[in-house]
Amino acid sequence: MKMSSDDAEDILQEVFIKTYENLNDFDQDLKFSSWIYRITYNHTISYYRKNKAKMQTLSLEDNEIFLEKLRSEFNLTENVDKKMLKEKVQKFLQKLDKKYRDVLILKYLEDKDYTEISNILRKPMGTVATLLNRAKDKFREILKNNHFKYE
């Protein structure tokens, strides 16, 4: 989903306020970046739910890094046109359950490690590993079912 810069600034301001208000609840055994990411993630999801009608669909068109990471992970053939790849990857990601899409995005788009993903999703690291493996399997299945070449 796309949002205006004003909306993004509003979310950012609200995240800072919420972080400040809950600073005493921060568990120092966790990474601060994962904790604040979780607050941001939750607040952004809430924002999207409240404003779903006026939002556009998620666009990964501008994120070359994400596409390159997926390409290398799944050994996608190099002769695929990047624009076509972007459109197909976006379409294929939308076919995944949210839990699988989220974990792929956190790992390959946000470049989070298992510990950070575990803290963000509030799931044990074993569950994160399982979700990531299942997400990759489901993504491969979608690629195969859509006759998309990968090795």
Q: Are residues 114 and 84 in the same domain?
A: yes
| Phi-psi sector, 77: left (phi>0), alpha (psi -120 to 50), beta | beta
Q: Which tens digit of pLDDT belongs to each residue from 52-102? A: 655 444 444 446 666 666 666 665 555 455 666 677 777 888 888 989 988
Q: Are residues 107 and 73 in the same domain?
A: yes
Per mean pLDDT, which range of 28-32, 94-98, 121-125 is the poorest? 28-32
- 82 in a domain, yes or no? yes
- 141 in a domain, yes or no? yes
Determine the structural domain holding residue 25 and report its residue range. Answer: 5-54
Q: Which tens digit of pLDDT belongs to each residue from 79-91? A: 455 666 677 777 8
Q: Are residues 84 and 119 in the same domain?
A: yes
Cβ(107)–Cβ(70) below 8 Å = no
| Phi-psi sector, 81: left (phi>0), alpha (psi -120 to 50), beta | beta
- 77 in a domain, yes or no? yes
pLDDT above 70 as % of the chain: 73
- 119 in a domain, yes or no? yes
Burial of 95-133, coded b for 16+ CB within 10 Å and e otherwise, reads ebeeebbbbbbbbbbeebeeebbbbbbebeeeebeebbe
Predicted structure pTM score? 0.54
